[in-house]
Structure 1
């Protein structure tokens, strides 16, 4: 793998100023306001900055993550961000940044919109899975390394979202000490890592929208924290032309027209045209089809608010910068200051000389898949291993049952959102991966829940008295027995073919039917009895552009690699009109379309097969999955099925493909539990390696796993102001006591503690010593021994207690993570380990002096293998 690109720590300001002097006002606007890229070069990325090509200032493409890079072209999907956090490995974080940077460069992307370094505070927040967990040190450490990996490839990183974007709501109040110590701390780590850009968040922070919060952006971010790059709005996060005076440099998406899916929820304020955009309708319009829709198994528990419209207030008299310049409320020097910050990073990254990245037709670089597979293995958290049910033995493999859709396919991406969609050709299911490792193994695979189904049989459909489907294509009429045109069956349609079909489906038994609309090479829409039931989410200028990707509309693609829009429809006896239409996705790929179903009878057969497989197995591996609904639970009937299997066969291991904690009412009835997260493209082989002991699990939980949803500070019914308010107003009254800090302050035992994870080996700690370095840092030395039978990794964690003497006006958590490392040891090996705790991590934010202060007196330093499992401790004077 090629060496990192050298990016200078600071821009050549003399060169930047000289270029600015040559620019017209309109040139400067093209550095602070996005627009839609021309179709001939557009990569389907999130944003585009036109630049000033006549002066050698190239345009910039900005693409979503994390994880990975989202454009109209396929790209590898790494392990989920929460899974990466679970590695507790700064090297893995850096390597994943390399993957992102190299893929961004290959796909023609100049700015990667990641890392996502908000806190996992509220499990009701639908983007909580996107975070690095509940601890600011872990989040900041991992995010900083991701930034270094990305920017080492010559691609800018953009840390997001500043700040308080941690909840279901939009009007956020955070106490000052908690703001600095918890929520801003990861952004300080990003700044120290040299991040090029920071994205300001949608929400209000303490009364002001973050993107127009002058105190936050100028006084805190730039003056106190030392940020030198540019601030970009989240898409539609600007509500006034005056933001350019308050520290917000670049508006995205910028100038758009009424054909853009964001038209009725976003407008451009950083524009220099006399024609003002109209007031917003806030209907979400065509964007409704882009947002994730529930699959048949997903259901809601309680009410979660939909407060997104509060993030896009309807300004009845919008005024852009054209008017602001005319009435002198904004001056050209304000625009030039913002343009200078953007131009400075373009110069710093060498793009004035080599131009912006251009898309390449080359394949993904060798070695990136290995990083994704290794990360997936390193992320695995062994939560339970009673009777050493894992790793699987040779005898186990003589009769193993693997149950669940995740046995056949890796749950690579979970929620299809602002991240890469993955490369299905890389994806191998855990069962096939295990067969490849153990060719003699006897594995009985039963999906239990068939997410692909079969094409609706020809004998069940007719139209106008004739069997089959009536197809209309380019003015010609055809008749098809089944709606099943796929590459796998050799009858895919020619590229840019856009047919439509009609038929009447005869239902003999009333019930709930899964109708799965499957496609690739075109978008598609399904109607039942004249009502739209499902449609693909591809849409021009939204997410990955208009190109359909295999995994974008469900938990995973079909087993033959098609996009899968899964809906459950209650059908009465008799005939029902089915209509399927297609639309162009500009991919130029052969058009594949299929309408598959799973009938109630088929579901019963599939379930019976799973129970039979469990009954006849030596051991059972059950693959459970969840996306975001229900909150704190497994979708569908997975809990019930696990209970039934456990009653049949007690040698049951559950593999979780989730990214946030879920309730597990069956936990006491299973012997093994492995958290594999959303695995990325290489999750199948990684899972097989963990189950067989070829890789020793050493992941640690980046969040506290509670017994119930009500145990968390944001969902504790005693404090309704903390989250999930229908009006979107949220107050972080828990202060610094987020996550494990809250549980300890309340003397509440979790199900699994922050930092928890088992191993196939054992580790001993000894010889703890501490000392202060001349710069004030704390040096911690100890010995770590692998006393178990196999090689493995251990994750030592350092926690610092609150000062013994209370400090007026300040709050302290019972203990705070101040250091960690991941250490590899052979069986029987002992190693001397040193961890440096920076001075800043020993300090607290004093609200009266508005400065970092070191509390005086003694504090207890705890060396632990989890937040609740202290191995050694020592009193440290300060």
Structure 2
């Protein structure tokens, strides 16, 4: 295997297309070794938990310590279970899916997905959503929430799990994952931030037969500035667990990669918690322990367990490594006071919800506003002409499309099945597949308020757009016509407006088949040919192209509804009728053509002499999404950060201020704590602007700050604020910039480095609508 990796490395040294990689002194086509695995040291906020853990682990036998390093079968639907040490009153730990709400059990909520959080651009909602989820997990006895997700980082446009993450932009992801971690862990539940790292496609994510998992080949600079960035924010926020990923990184498996685990995570970021494998992602024994893996899930399999005990006894692995593994697990348990104020692990997770069992209702009525407002703010209005929205007492609405109604097969009393409903057959993976009656296979299933796989949601109740619209229509005296079956429906001539619902589906284990489909585009155009005000609503698990219909004169409004969770219907109705003004912004770029995304549109495929060792060269470096579009001069259909509302805003009075006394020495020199060197977060500068609501209705605006750092991309997001303003109201907002915000990664120094020269600042409503600008010299 090492020989193959070296050969692969030599292959990458050829060709100008790979200059980003070949010019980087720390990338050689294979991941460099970093040993030994750093031991937990405690310190600062982890010190008390560390001392308690050391005292408890010191009383354990070798076998008891080893038992903590792998999962065991349990009589509950916990995704995984760390076994108890009953002799020492450690009750064990329940780990369960996932980052959008607790699934595969009863009496829980379905929260907006990660993509929806990103589209909300709301720090407050990210925190409150996290707190509400954490409360539910705790009531049900789940010690570790398997989320949030910042990997994938959306490199592959058709990536099947992008929707679980927050955004294609690392800065936006980092801010919102930090808030999410803080919200969840404030309830005493441990976050398992995942999937660490470079997990950017589902194609070949796991080894199969003679074919290894795909290798994400990432240069050192790109690793730090893109993929590691949000994980760093999660660690700084205190995330107690990190989940390592299935694929390889620079030809070393993610859960056996000493560079990423020992070097980046446990040394550079000072991570004090424990590392758990994704389920089945362990492919070696002693080597994974030495590389920094602490817990293997779902069980010891053929690698650990008694084999780990034997490895210590025969000298293959020092017992100190096993002691550190156990200490990290127990310290994390103590860190969140799970020794004193936590239910019995898995108490609310019955092995079968259809069998008689004690009911533990995880829901909190106080979370209702979070579910509704979170759903509302993740909708993004991108087109609104002819005064189409908001609707004003329409006499008749006509509804079409397969993503309007509740799935026919959804039974809340047996919601255990729901997480599987999105896989009704492999033909559903092809959004262009049409069955005998003309419907896409997936279209039979109804609305999509979450996507598929371990990140799916299983709410006790959900309200579809059709159900919510019927209720509102009855209050307004509006007639409703609907046809959710025909691919070329007839439209009632008296319709004031028509709404066509579509979706852009995604699932774990499969990359998306396309980012547009002819069936839905044709359905939209068929309705628009007959209806002067046609509103398109997409429930989309990633970018969805609209150029197949966007210029039709009767397509007058388009909403990217993303994945709103259980309050999908009420949220949409609130926006359609103007109870609330849209405030979401795109956390990705919508192109005009598939080819505009370049080489990152599709997942890498096995090919050539390395067909059994598939390679994904991240040769684009840091130039993803809007950075790539800016560099190439490509005009997007809807740019990153774009979104409309029912009011307008004006920007004025930009003020850029260097903080007197701030240390602008090029490199940080502070000690390493959780998240990295302490002075990376020292304040360096502030940027302030005034925002005024110049329209006639109240609304929230996402003010965005982009910076051009010398020698870096032309502009990168480095700040956002979301004030809510009444008509004519003005407010000053301030963006606070840290040393890390203004630095680039120095490969030579292996540190973040402030640049000498002129920094450019831009403020506005999207990445391409930036009316204010200024400069500052460092």
Name the CA distance, whole Å, in 1 between partners of 2:545 and 2:291. 44
The residue number in structure 1 matching 2:385 is: 386
432-441 or 719-728, which deviates more: 719-728
Q: Is 1:782 matched with 2:661?
A: no
TM-score (norm 1): 0.70
Name the CA distance, whole Å, in 1 between partners of 2:601 and 2:373. 37
Per-residue deviation, 1:12 = 3.0
> Which residue, out of 164, 189, 195, partners 1:161?
195
Per-residue deviation, 1:794 = 0.3
Alignment deviations for residues 773-799 of structure 1 (CA, whole Å, 9 cap, x no partner): 234422111111000010000001111
Instruction: List gaps (5 residues or longer) in structure 2.
Output: 1-43, 205-213, 349-358, 407-445, 663-681
CA contact (8 A) 1:386 1:672 kept: yes
1:214–1:718 Cα change, 3 Å:
closer
Name the CA distance, whole Å, in 2 between partners of 1:719 and 1:755. 27
Alignment deviations for residues 752-783 of structure 1 (CA, whole Å, 9 cap, x no partner): 10000011000001110011223442211111
> Which residue, out of 91, 94, 115, partners 2:127?
94
TM-score (norm 2): 0.79
> Which residue, out of 759, 770, 774, partners 1:870?
770
Name the CA distance, whole Å, in 2 between partners of 1:857 and 1:754. 27
The residue number in structure 1 matching 2:405 is: 408
1:733–1:122 Cα change, 3 Å:
same
Per-residue deviation, 1:80 = 1.8
> Which residue, out of 760, 770, 785, partners 2:656?
770
1:99–1:634 Cα change, 3 Å:
farther
Name the CA distance, whole Å, in 1 between partners of 2:596 and 2:605. 13
Q: Is 1:131 matched with 2:175?
A: no
> Which residue, out of 586, 607, 612, partners 2:491?
612
Alignment deviations for residues 548-587 of structure 1 (CA, whole Å, 9 cap, x no partner): xxxxxxxxxxxxxxxxxxxxxxxxxxxxxxxxxxxxxxxx
Name the CA distance, whole Å, in 1 between partners of 2:314 and 2:572. 63
CA contact (8 A) 1:713 1:738 kept: no
Q: Is 1:245 matched with 2:242?
A: no
Name the CA distance, whole Å, in 2 between partners of 1:424 and 1:446. 26
Name the CA distance, whole Å, in 2 between partners of 1:93 and 1:437. 32
The residue number in structure 1 matching 2:455 is: 419
Q: Is 1:844 matched with 2:744?
A: yes
> Which residue, out of 642, 656, 660, partners 1:756?
642
628-637 or 233-242, which deviates more: 628-637
CA contact (8 A) 1:120 1:133 kept: yes
Name the CA distance, whole Å, in 1 between partners of 2:561 and 2:344. 34
Per-residue deviation, 1:71 = 3.2
1:445–1:27 Cα change, 3 Å:
farther
Alignment deviations for residues 405-441 of structure 1 (CA, whole Å, 9 cap, x no partner): 3333383534232135333534243453453375133
CA contact (8 A) 1:619 1:651 kept: yes
> Which residue, out of 246, 260, 266, partners 1:216?
260
1:726–1:72 Cα change, 3 Å:
farther
Per-residue deviation, 1:338 = 0.7
Q: Is 1:820 matched with 2:720?
A: yes
Name the CA distance, whole Å, in 2 between partners of 1:8 and 1:226. 12
Name the CA distance, whole Å, in 1 between partners of 2:564 and 2:615. 34
Name the CA distance, whole Å, in 2 between partners of 1:647 and 1:436. 26
Name the CA distance, whole Å, in 2 between partners of 1:433 and 1:103. 29
> Which residue, out of 155, 158, 174, partners 1:140?
174
Per-residue deviation, 1:746 = 0.7
Q: Is 1:64 matched with 2:93?
A: no
Name the CA distance, whole Å, in 2 between partners of 1:712 and 1:432. 36
Structure with the bigger percentage of helix? 2
The residue number in structure 1 matching 2:354 is: none
Per-residue deviation, 1:159 = 0.4
1:425–1:69 Cα change, 3 Å:
closer
The residue number in structure 2 matching 1:556 is: none
CA contact (8 A) 1:50 1:59 kept: yes
CA contact (8 A) 2:107 2:360 kept: no
Q: Is 1:341 matched with 2:337?
A: no
For the pair shown, the structure with the greater C-alpha radius of gyration is: 1
Give SS of 1:48's match: strand
Give SS of 2:386's match: helix
The residue number in structure 2 matching 1:152 is: 186
Give SS of 1:220's match: helix
Per-residue deviation, 1:79 = 1.2
Structure with the bigger percentage of strand? 1
The residue number in structure 1 matching 2:69 is: 32
